[in-house]
């Protein structure tokens, strides 16, 4: 019967229903874990030989078979069978076909529970290392934009209303720091990922004299888990990795929103590279920022992955439950999505061009120098709240007469406070406003130059 063909089928008298096989299989997606599964198995076999549990010739035969299977998989010649449920069973079944009954000794002292936990940790570790490199590439693109456009002036916003003038380079570096924090989160997660659960077996450990530290070292883990029950049921590191992906996507979505806005005729701040925009099927003039829009959309998808894994985990008793099979699809999807999004957005940032004159023109609007005038009065001894009121009345005066602060005369300033002197007129430039904010973290050119220099030294750009 079919159940007897299962590696676990000895206890069953009936064949597995075909619908159950379709419902429970995971090999259609977890086969991507194959290289990690084989690496874990090779390390396990080497340890079994070291401990005298396997003979040398047995270990060599199993390892040789595993390496041949890896070549079959990499060459696209491996036949994945749904009835064998998952990547682990498919590989083990093929191993026994190739090397005979000795292949069955591979599973000595091991369960699929600690095996899959090991595979997923190895997979996540590799993917985090790749994501870290992609994050660095994106940060490099922001620094390049800042360095090449150091003196470009633009309006800064709060509530999407013009607030104060800033340097475009300062704005670009704000995104650098977002993605720098993302790097720090992934690096911190890596510490919790890089611990070996192998040897925890089904849930209680094993009676075989395994050397867990030996297999951990072979696999590049920094240590071993300390509780076998926690080891096989822990997916915190999966949830944490997906959360980190969601944070990256949130930052990319904020960037995308600004790029969509900035590329409109209404803003007109940037020109996006043609290679990363698309046209309209009916309107020949259109240049649509579809990549940025899709980045926003895909952010919701990764948020869904996070909700999915948290929901899977929230009600599980110790230890392993089959629900945990559902950890992989959201994990794979989140990682795939964030990697592709990082790649494409780095190229967009690298290729976009600011429209300098338009930015400068807009930076002068919306009474963006009002805070500078209030600060001027405060430095003359006027309490800031009083200065705030005076400048508010000045703005109202300008609005009633169709004027701006820049084209007010000294006499008009003095109507509102006798603290105004000739030097107030020298404040009325966006460059003066920007460079007055010459403190650490401020938008002054000197501060931005220093920030770029320190970043490049730290990052090795």
Give the position of tokens 């130059």: 449
Using CA atoms, how far residue 392 sits from 61, 158, 386, 424, 433, in Å, is: 84, 17, 10, 16, 18
Residue 266, helix vs strand vs coil = coil
Q: Please count the other Cβ atoms lying within 10 Å of the Cβ belonging to residue 381.
A: 8
Non-local (6+) Cβ contacts of 388 within 8 A are 374
**Residue 298 · residue 249 · CB < 8 Å:** yes
Cα separation, 143 vs 459, in Å, equals 10
Torsion sign over Cα 323, 187, 171, 438: positive
Q: Which of the following is catalytic: 28, 64, 222, 280?
A: 280
Cα separation, 363 vs 358, in Å, equals 9
Cα separation, 376 vs 370, in Å, equals 10
Peptide bond into 319 cis (omega under 30): yes
Residue 154, helix vs strand vs coil = strand
What the block records as the tokens of 201 is 């077996």
Parallel, antiparallel, or unpaired: how do β-strands 153-158 and 161-167 relate?
antiparallel
Cα separation, 395 vs 408, in Å, equals 11
Cα separation, 262 vs 58, in Å, equals 65
Half-sphere exposure (CA, 13 Å, Cβ side) for 76?
0
Torsion angle defined by CA atoms of residues 257, 263, 269 and 274, in that order, rounded to the nearest 10 degrees = 120
Residues comprising the chain, all counted: 461
Cα separation, 255 vs 276, in Å, equals 15
Known catalytic residue: 280?
yes
H or E segment and range at residue 353: strand 353-354
**Residue 376 · residue 428 · CB < 8 Å:** no
**Residue 215 · residue 41 · CB < 8 Å:** no
H or E segment and range at residue 384: helix 384-401
Known catalytic residue: 159?
yes
DSSP 86: S
Q: Which of the following is catalytic: 159, 207, 281, 426?
A: 159
Reported for 265-272, long-range contacts at CB under 8 A and 24+ positions apart, including other chains, are: 267/362, 268/355, 268/358, 269/154, 269/354, 269/355, 269/358, 269/359, 269/362, 270/352, 270/353, 270/354, 270/355, 271/352, 271/353, 271/355, 272/348, 272/351, 272/352
**Residue 405 · residue 395 · CB < 8 Å:** yes
- Give the residue numbers annotated as catalytic, written as ranges: 159, 280
């Amino acid at each position: 019967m079919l159940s007897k063909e299962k590696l676990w089928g000895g206890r069953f008298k009936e064949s597995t229903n075909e619908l159950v096989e379709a419902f429970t299989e995971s090999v259609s997606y977890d086969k991507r874990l194959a290289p990690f599964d084989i690496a874990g198995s090779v390390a396990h076999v080497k340890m079994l030989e070291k401990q005298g549990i396997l003979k040398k010739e047995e270990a060599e035969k199993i390892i040789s078979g595993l390496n041949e299977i890896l070549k079959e998989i990499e060459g696209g010649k491996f036949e994945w069978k749904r009835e064998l449920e998952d990547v682990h069973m498919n590989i083990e079944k093929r191993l026994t076909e190739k090397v005979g009954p000795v292949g069955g000794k591979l599973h000595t002292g091991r369960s699929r529970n600690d095996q899959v936990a090991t595979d997923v940790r190895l997979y996540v570790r590799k993917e985090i290392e790749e994501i870290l490199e992609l994050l660095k590439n994106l940060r490099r693109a922001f620094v390049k934009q800042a360095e090449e456009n150091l003196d470009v002036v633009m309006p800064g916003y709060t509530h999407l209303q013009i607030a104060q003038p800033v340097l475009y380079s300062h704005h670009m570096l704000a995104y650098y720091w977002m993605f720098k924090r993302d790097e720090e989160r992934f690096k911190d997660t890596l510490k919790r990922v890089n611990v070996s659960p192998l040897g925890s077996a089904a849930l209680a450990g094993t009676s075989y004299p395994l050397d867990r530290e030996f297999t951990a070292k072979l696999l590049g883990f920094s240590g071993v888990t300390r509780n076998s029950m926690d080891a096989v049921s822990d997916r915190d590191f999966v949830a944490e990795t997906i959360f980190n992906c969601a944070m990256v996507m949130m930052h990319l979505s904020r960037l995308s929103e600004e790029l969509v806005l900035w590329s409109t005729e209404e803003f007109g701040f940037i020109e996006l590279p043609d290679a990363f925009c698309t046209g309209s099927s009916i309107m020949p003039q259109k240049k649509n920022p579809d990549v940025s829009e899709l980045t926003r959309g895909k952010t919701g998808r990764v948020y869904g992955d996070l909700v999915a894994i948290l929901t899977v985990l929230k009600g599980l008793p110790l230890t392993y439950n089959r629900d945990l099979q559902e950890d992989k699809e959201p994990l794979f999807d989140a990682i795939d999505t964030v990697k592709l999004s990082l790649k494409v957005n780095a190229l967009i940032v690298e290729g976009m061009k600011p429209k300098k004159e338009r930015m400068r023109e807009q930076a002068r609007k919306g009474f963006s120098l009002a805070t500078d005038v209030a600060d001027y009065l405060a430095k003359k001894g006027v309490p800031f709240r009083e200065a705030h009121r005076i400048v508010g009345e000045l703005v109202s005066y300008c609005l009633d007469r169709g004027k701006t602060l820049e084209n007010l005369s000294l006499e008009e300033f003095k109507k509102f406070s006798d603290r105004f002197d000739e030097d107030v007129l020298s404040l009325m430039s966006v460059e003066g406003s920007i460079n007055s904010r010459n403190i650490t973290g401020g938008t002054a050119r000197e501060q931005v130059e220093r920030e770029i220099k320190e970043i490049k030294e730290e990052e090795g750009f």
